[in-house]
Chains A and B, each alone.
Chain A
């Protein structure tokens, strides 16, 4: 079991979400986060271009069984990119080993609880 954490651009959320659903990955948690990256976000504030310190991002947390890691990661990479070549700030994916998964309703454990 792996925990896949993806940090993506907020404007690509719907693209990624729909692509994941197409790929049958439907159990995801989404949150708004902020962070530092290499990217300089361009926003306009009262006509001034500003580069804020903390940049808004969207974080996806997806717990998967091992055989689904590749398809999940590939789907996110493909759908979260801006343009064909990607752009700075498109985000990162972290994959960590997950010790246990518990379904609260049934107290089921392990891979079948995902």
Chain B
């Protein structure tokens, strides 16, 4: 039906061209199927933000639950304003400054896209909003590293600057049509849904922030119990559900590629959780709920860059490898003694790196064949590994360096680390003048 329609439209177009009316730009029409799925995906990715708020909120002490959840909601608010204003243009505008970022003034406040239908047959508004959700959740992930000890105002300024100076440039390099990592090697660095852009960038920043701001008062001497693992599990569940929009939506289509992404996402999440559970059984004799939640996330993070290119077997492998490596990384954190409070680096940073590098060994043969054809000869796994390593390396170095400067500036001007007194009182009281839990036991 749709095919017939486009065919007849093409005929009309051809007739118009003959008559010399150059309406070529208007040729693309909205595909309702694709648009519906992309609208759904956009909503699903936004659902991950309250999911993350619940996941992180359940892991902190009762006096910090509102403050921690507000880190996620704060990102929804600040980036929600910033993205249509600057972020979309900086990320997806044509390259400026030698390709450092993009910019097109017609994207400012999304003014110029009121009538635009993209070549993927969806309105550009949908694409801009879909991408905006990624920009929201990414800085919110960082908050896990410095939970329970930052000033709310300083945090908001930090994520705003981070969105402009770290997220948007990396997003431009990896996903914009003229980004340098998008065009590296035969068919670009593979980052289907944000292994580098979202998880490595936020994970590395998390590590830098945890090191720069220092540990929470009393860490690691005092045990800091999660306030509500029930909420954490519900959050992990919402993240898993939302991730179908995150990964399958990143196909910007509603077809075979979407189905592939959805399938491997489901399998990697399950494999990650399963592996983590087995490791805990072997190591401690008990499987914890937090372990299962962490395994789900490790699997989801690892499959994120790979969802477009790996087959189910690869998804299993990536989920399992990520779970083992993240588990070891979190154990190592205990040994090294830095306070990445909610393991933003341990899960997102490490999981992202594992996914972006290891995916190389599980790419479907047809992709490699296409890559070989494109360079007019052969394209080996090792060549692609070089491309992947470059993308990962560039992301790590850039995110770490710029984030350190931003942390320094915010700390010295507005203040990011809160006073000892405020930290003891808890963020809920000192930052928001509220309390999260009614009569639940204090800890």
Contact = CB atoms under 8 A, between A and B. Distances in A.
Interface in A13-67: 13-15, 18, 30-32, 34, 42-44, 56, 58
A32 B429 CA distance: 15
A12 B442 CA distance: 12
Given A15-B424, A43-B434, A56-B435, A31 B441 contact: yes
A30 B441 CA distance: 8
Contacts of B63: 10-11, 14
Interface string B410-426: 00000000000100111
B272 to A, nearest CB: 36
B440 A42 contact: no
Contact of B433 (A32, A34, A44): A44
Contacts of B432: 44
Contacts of B429: 10-11
Contacts of B430: 11
B434 to A, nearest CB: 6
Interface string B304-324: 000000000000000000000
Contacts of B433: 42-44
Among B425, B429, B430, B434, chain A packs the most CB atoms within 10 A around the CB of: B425
Among B426, B430, B435, B442: residue with most chain A CB under 10 A: B442
Interface in B387-428: 421, 424-426
Contact of B439 (A14, A34, A42, A43): A34
Contacts of A42: 433
Contacts of B424: 14-15, 18
Interface residues on chain A, size class: 10 to 19
Interface string B59-76: 000010000000000000
Nearest to B443: A30
A105 to B, nearest CB: 23
B153 to A, nearest CB: 16
A32 B441 CA distance: 6
A18 B442 CA distance: 15
A32 B440 contact: yes
Contacts of A13: 442
A18 B424 CA distance: 10
A30 B439 CA distance: 12
Given A43-B434, A44-B433, A56-B435, A14 B425 contact: yes
A2 to B, nearest CB: 24
Nearest to A56: B435
Contacts of B441: 30-32
Nearest to A13: B442
A12 B426 CA distance: 9
Contacts of A58: 442
A32 B425 CA distance: 15
B425 A11 contact: yes
Interface string B364-394: 0000000000000000000000000000000
A58 B433 CA distance: 17
A12 B434 contact: no
A99 B232 CA distance: 45
Contacts of A34: 439
A31 B443 CA distance: 10
B435 A10 contact: yes
B440 A12 contact: no
B338 to A, nearest CB: 23
Nearest to B432: A44
Contacts of B425: 11-12, 14-15
Nearest to A49: B433
Give the residue among A14, A15, A42, A58 with the most B Cβ atoms within 10 A.
Answer: A14
Contacts of A18: 424
B149 to A, nearest CB: 13
B434 A10 contact: no
Which 9 pairs from chain A and chain B are nearest by CB?
Answer: A11-B425, A14-B424, A11-B429, A32-B439, A44-B433, A15-B424, A32-B442, A13-B442, A30-B442
Interface of A: 10-15, 18, 30-32, 34, 42-44, 56, 58
30 contacts: A10-B63, A10-B429, A10-B435, A10-B442, A11-B63, A11-B425, A11-B426, A11-B430, A12-B425, A13-B442, A14-B63, A14-B424, A14-B425, A14-B426, A15-B421, A15-B424, A15-B425, A18-B424, A30-B441, A30-B442, A31-B441, A32-B440, A32-B441, A32-B442, A42-B433, A43-B434, A44-B433, A56-B435, A56-B439, A58-B442
Given A15-B424, A32-B439, A58-B442, 11 more contacts: A10-B63, A10-B435, A11-B63, A12-B425, A13-B442, A14-B426, A15-B425, A32-B442, A34-B439, A56-B438, A56-B439
